Amino acid sequence: MIEIFKNGGPVMYPLLLCSVISLTVIIERAFFWVAVGMRKNKDLIHEMLDLCEKGDWESVRKKVTGSKNYVIKVLVTGIVHREYSLVKAMEQAGAEEIRNMRQYMGILDTMITVSPLLGIFGTVLGIISSFDMLGQAGIGDPVAVTGGIAQALITTASGLGIAIITVFPYNYFNSRIERAALNIEKYATSLEIVYERLLSPSKQTLKEGNRETPP
């Protein structure tokens, strides 16, 4: 591997940097999603919604205290701001959670794009070197030309390899983000319906009281 790296020429150094950056981000995001999976607790979310349906906000607070589940955090934000705007509060909290999940994804996207381009750049440099050697040594010394061709092939393969290895976890992380966004939307809508249902009797009472009030 060291010999191949040396034969790849100077472009191998930025390619090595790209591979290190990609690997670091992939490991970091993998640990992040493992932690998210460990905090997953659908039963607690359903218990929370049942308590919300009864309007028992104090029990909700005690039940979810200390939970780091992203859905519960969004729902709690809505409950805290329910007297002002439950929906907008949940939208803001949900956007913040999704922003955290998308962290460093732009870096992976950049590595997927840049690595093949660097490989092509190394290919061009290798071909230039080959033609330069060909001009100096002539056709009678093909060994002098093969070094540049080898350099071109190594950088291209390295760039493509980095991009291919990175694109799989990149797509997987994106799929997890999409699923998380759907979960947030589903449970936020459930809480909104529960809260509207909870307010319906009071709204009906207010309307009846207005009708009974003489003009």
Name the percent of the chain lying above pLDDT 70: 84
Does some domain include residue 51? yes
Number of folded domains that form the chain: 1
Interatomic CA distance for residues 25 and 170, integer angstroms: 10
Residue 136 pLDDT = 63
| Residue of 152, 147, 74 lying closest to 119 (CA atoms) | 152
* Residues with Cβ within 8 Å of residue 39, at least 6 apart in sequence: 67, 68, 69, 70
Q: What is the mean pLDDT of the chain?
A: 84
**Full 3-state SS string of 132-159:** HHHHHHCCCCCHHHHHHHHHHHHHHHHH
Domain extent at residue 192: 10-113+169-206
pLDDT of residue 134: 66
pLDDT for 153 equals 84
Q: Is residue 96 part of a domain?
A: yes
Specify if 94 maps to a domain. Answer: yes
Residue 154 covered by a domain: no
Domain presence at residue 5? no
SS3 29: helix
Q: What is the pTM of this model?
A: 0.83
Query: Does some domain include residue 18?
Result: yes
- Whether residue 188 contacts residue 75, with contact meaning beta carbons closer than 8 Å, is answered with yes
Residue 206 pLDDT > 80, yes or no?
no
**pLDDT tens track for 17-69:** 999 999 999 999 999 999 999 888 888 898 898 888 888 888 888 888 888 89
